[in-house]
Amino acid sequence: MSNDVDISKKFPPGGVSVSEGDRLRLARQVLFWLAIICIGVFVAYGREPENKALGQIFELIKIGALPLVTLVISFYFPKNSIK
């Protein structure tokens, strides 16, 4: 007895598509929560800069937040359609 699932029976032949509205909503939610986390870490680090663990988290946010934001933005704008 096999527990394999035939994907072609579960999804339409053209594949799964995500509407632009849903992609925008996802991008806004990700960017919102990223901003909340970044602001929280920045405020906490500002209040306690001698905390080594908080300093490491601050550096991680500083180095990782910008690439993640650009990834979310590039997901929402996948094609360059300048004419």
- Residue ranges per domain, the chain? 20-75
Q: For 53-60, what is the mean pLDDT?
A: 90
Contacts for 66-71: CB closer than 8 Å, 24+ residues apart: 68/34, 69/31, 69/34
Per cent of the chain over pLDDT 90 is 17
The reported pLDDT for the residue numbered 43 is 93
DSSP structure string for 15-50: -----HHHHHHHHHHHHHHHHHHHHHHHHHHHH-TT
List CB contacts of 55: < 8 A, sequence separation 6 or more.
45, 49
The pTM of the full predicted model, rounded to 2 decimals, is 0.62
